[in-house]
Every structure is written in structure tokens, then in C-alpha cells.
Amino acid sequence: MNLDHIKRVYLLGIGGIGMSGLARYFQHLGCEVKGYDKTETDLTQALVSEGIEVVYQDDLSLIPTAYQTASEETLLIYTPAVPKDLKLKCFFLEQGFTLYKRSEVLGIISASRFTIAVAGTHGKTTTSTMIAHILKDSGYDCSAFLGGISSNYNTNVLYGGNNVVVVEADEYDRSFLTLHPNIAVVTSADADHLDIYGDESHLLESFVLFLGRIVSNGVSIVKKGLPFQGTLTYAKEDECDVYAANIHIVEGEFFFDYIGRDGLVFEAIHLGIPGLHNVENAVAAVTVALELGIEEGKIRQALSSFKGAKRRFEYIVKKSEAVYIDDYAHHPEELRAFLTSMRKLYPEEKLTVIFQPHLFSRTRDFVEGFAEVLGMADELLLMDIYPARELPIEGVTSGWLLDKIQLQQKRIVTAQEVLDVVRSEKPKLLVTVGAGDIDRLVRPLKEILEHA
């Protein structure tokens, strides 16, 4: 595929966070961009408002004439999340189109660029967004394909004037093996996506293969404790090549010392977003910036002004009467990091957690971990499992999970019941967590708490 020849792009599953980034990228290049998704969301509405046509019916009559004949000027991109029997997908294959996965296109785009790739089963969205912000804010510049909406730029794709690209490298379906990074970061490798990998050993193998794709003289920055090697190790409060020390909170704001190589120390760095796990993410981001030669003052300024990514420890309401935070956490270790930081920030407050499990297989595989971590709440409102791409698994239900959680105040709730409970109880400290459609509750919950 020669990207220079592309004039039209059609994306199956255009509403996904990664797919929408590609849609915006090709529109930025001057291509005509259209796509399909099964449901309308805030993200698809944003694409439409930007001039990208989106349809929501699996109807062949909705395919524009220009997209019905295979041509080197027309690019078809799909996400593995779309059903194999999707009529639109089958039609394009029958017409002789080559359908490219998002990861394959991303690999082609980044192939001729200096690539900074951030991988990990969790932490990669915030870390890649943080690195991109440091490069943008410092004047170093970059393009970026992010797995979330940057709160600083209100988009998931950034356009730069140089040859540097920051990429969130997704391990799902081994997508990140299309990349050839110059700098690679691995934030975590906890067992996940076992519906794809089968077991943890195959997941870990994929990360080893990812690190093996680093170009000659490239650098890999790997979190300490992972069962594979990098050029450098990093951590929070655990001595290694580079790490954070003296982490402290002043009036709800996080500060830390960066301990680097060869005696390098940056004291009292202010981080613009909360969370102990985000301090660790910042250590990786600072290390990348130093590899690029960005000076300390510019790194400090960028980290202080960093606002994070949407649905990553995102304050929705922050006032004396109520604090409401929304987060994407959907794996036990992500939940642990998030809830631990909540406890550190608000040690005296009753913590009400609304959680929506994501995938039957993930709930089954990690039920004991979920049960343990959700027990950190004071009150738990547990929603039904969001199926995403899966069919139900017999016996795997939210009720099964709830029975395993050692907590007095816990119950199963519908979306409407969530709103009713919050309207009635008006919790002072509330969080919503999950990767399904729980984000649809954010706006109504905000309205309830702001008018409480």
C-alpha cells in the first residue's frame, strides 16, 4: 500500500478510539473519509461534526458509489471487533478490496518515522499522552496516535511538523508487532486478553517479540519487575535505573523527585494529574524526554500543565460538597492502582464505587482479583457485565462476582438504579470505573451532583 496514492478511506468500526484517530489523520491529509459503526456515540458525533460521514446500519445500499470498486486510491480499514459476518465487510472482500487492520496501517504510517511506542496491559494511554504533551509543550514537536482523548488537546491524534511519532502500541490481537520503534516503553504485562492469547505465557511472549522489533541502537524502557529485559528499568519508589522518590501530596497535588542515571536528580516535580500510578507513568515519560535531549525546565513545565486523558482519573465534579472521578480501569491491577490512589487522596471519606465489569471471559479469568480489589470500596454498586465482542458464559455473572466480594454495602444495579441511588444518597466521594458503556452515566451523574 502506498499512502501517497490514497484519496478515499472507509473505516469499519470508525467509532473506536484508535480507528477514529486514523479517520482524523486521513482527513487531515485531504482524503475523503467515511465509515460505519453499530452505534452512535459522542465520538462518532464528533467525527460527523468534523465532516466525516458515519452510518449505523449494516446496509450495502449505504456504500457510496466511489467505494464500491477496488482501487489503489481507496483504503479499507477494519477493527477486529466488527463481526466476521458483517455485510459491509463481506461486500468489500467480495469486490476484491484488501482490508487492513488499524495496526497494519499504523505500522505503515510509522515505518518511515522516528517512532516512540508505548505498550502495556495498562498505563499505556496516559504514558503515551504524557510523552506527546511533553514533546508538544517543549517545542520538540511530534505527531501522535493515542488510545484516549487528550484533555490538553481534546483529540486522540496530533499532527506535528517533524518526523517524530508517538504511538500507543496495543497488545490486543498482537497489533503492536507491526511497529518498529526507536524508543519503546513497556508499562505493564499483567495477564489479560486471555481470550486471544490462551494463557499468560503467550501474552508475555508477544511483549518479548515487541521489544525485539526495536530498531538498531534503539532504547527500551521497561517497568521494573517484568519478566523480560529492556535497556533501562523504571519504577515508583523502588530503586532501579530511573525511579521516583519522595512522593508527596500538597493540597491534593502530587509531587515527586526523579532519580535518573549518573546521579541525575530533579527534585519536587509537580504532576498535573493525581495518582501514584501516574507518578510511575511520569518517570517513564521523563526518561523518554531526556533520551531526546529535552531540558529539565521544559519537562517540568509540561508535566505541571498536563491534564491527562479522558476517562483516566478524570475529575468530573470537584467541589467541597462532592468529588466525582471517572476512570477506564477494567483489570484488577488497574483497579488496585486507581483505588489505592483514591484512598491516599481522600483517606477520611466514604468511597462509593460504581463498577461495570468488561467481558465475560475477563470476569471469569480474574474473578478472585476483582473480588479482592473491589473490597477496597466502602459502598459498591455493581452493574451487569458488558459483553463487548462476547456471548454470555454460563455461570459468569455480576451476581457471581458480587457473592465473592467481602463488603457489607454492595448490590447489583441497573443504569437507572445508579442514577436513583446517587440522587438519593448524594455520596461525597464517587467514582465510576469500567471500559464498557458506563461512560454514558458520566453526564447525568455530573448533573445530579452539581445540583445537589
**Same domain (yes/no): 426, 295:** no
* Separation between Cα atoms, residue 19 and residue 175, nearest integer Å: 13
Nearest by Cα to 55 from 87, 30, 27, 85: 87
User: Is 248 among the domain residues?
Assistant: no
Give the CATH number for residue 286: 3.40.1190.10
Q: What pLDDT, in 10s, does the model give residues 25-38?
A: 999 999 999 999 99
Domain match, 79 and 156 both: no
State the pLDDT at residue 42: 86
Instruction: Please indicate, yes or no, if residue 208 is contained in any of the structural domains.
Output: yes
Instruction: Residue 55: give the domain boundaries.
Output: 3-101
CA 299 to chain centre: 22
Rounded Cα distance, 144 and 301, in Å: 20
- Are 189 and 281 found together in one domain? yes
Going by DSSP bridges, is the β-strand pair 314-318/323-327 parallel, antiparallel, or unpaired? antiparallel
For residues 284 and 345, state if they share a domain. no
Enter the C-alpha cell of residue 165: 511519532
Same domain flag for 143 and 288:
yes
CATH number at residue 360: 3.90.190.20
Q: Which of the listed residues 73, 101, 129 is the one where a domain comes to its end?
A: 101
User: Do the Cβ atoms of 225 and 235 come closer than 8 Å?
Assistant: yes
Please count the structural domains in the chain: 3
DSSP letters spanning 378-429: SEEEEPPPB-TT----TT--HHHHHHH---SEEEE--HHHHHHHHHHH--SE
Q: Which three cell numbers stand for residue 229?
A: 529485559
Q: State the average pLDDT for the chain.
A: 93
Among the three residues 101, 133, 162, which one is the final residue of a domain in this structure? 101
What pLDDT score was predicted for residue 201? 83
Q: For residue 451, name the pLDDT band (cuts at 50, 70, 90).
A: confident
**Do 18 and 117 share a domain, yes or no?**
no
CATH number of the domain that residue 69 is part of: 3.40.50.720
Cell of 332: 484488577
Q: pLDDT grade, residue 176 (50/70/90)?
A: confident
Which set of grid coordinates corresponds to residue 121? 496491559
Task: Please indicate, yes or no, if residue 117 is contained in any of the structural domains.
Answer: yes
Note whether 154 and 25 are same-domain residues: no
pLDDT, one tens digit per residue, over 245-276 is: 999 999 889 999 999 999 999 999 999 999 99
Query: Is the distance from CB of 316 to CB of 445 less than 8 angstroms?
Result: yes
In a domain, 252, yes or no: no
pLDDT number for residue 193 = 52
Question: Which of 77, 101, 125 is at the close of a domain?
Answer: 101
pLDDT at 171 over 70: yes
Helix axes 17-28, 42-49, angle to 10 degrees: 10
Of the two residues 389 and 395, the one the predictor is more confident about is 395
Q: Do residues 148 and 278 share a domain?
A: yes
Predicted confidence at residue 215, as pLDDT, reads 93
Residue type, 288: V
Lookup result for grid cell 465475560: 360
Residue 393 and residue 364 in contact, taking contact as beta carbons nearer than 8 Å: yes
Q: Which three cell numbers stand for residue 372?
A: 479482592
Residue 121: what pLDDT? 87
Q: Is residue 125 part of a domain?
A: yes
CB 177 within 8 A of CB 334: no
DSSP for 346-359, written as a single string: -TTS--EEEEE-B-
Q: Is residue 198 part of a domain?
A: yes
pLDDT in tens, 73-129: 999 999 988 888 999 999 999 999 999 998 899 999 988 899 999 999 889 999 999
Q: Do 320 and 301 lie in a common domain?
A: no
Q: Is residue 205 part of a domain?
A: yes
Contact call for residues 142 and 158 (beta carbons, < 8 A): yes
339 and 442 assigned to the same domain: yes
430 within a domain of the structure (yes/no): yes
Q: What is the pLDDT of residue 133?
A: 98
Residue 448: count of CB within 10 angstroms of its CB: 21
- Domain shared by 163 and 300, yes or no: yes
CA distances (Å), origin 152, targets 115, 131, 256? 22, 12, 22
Mean pLDDT of 317-325: 94
R_g (Cα) of the chain, nearest Å? 22
Residues 92, 127, single domain; the answer is no
Q: Which residue, among 149, 142, 192, has the nearest Cα to 167 in the 3D structure?
A: 142
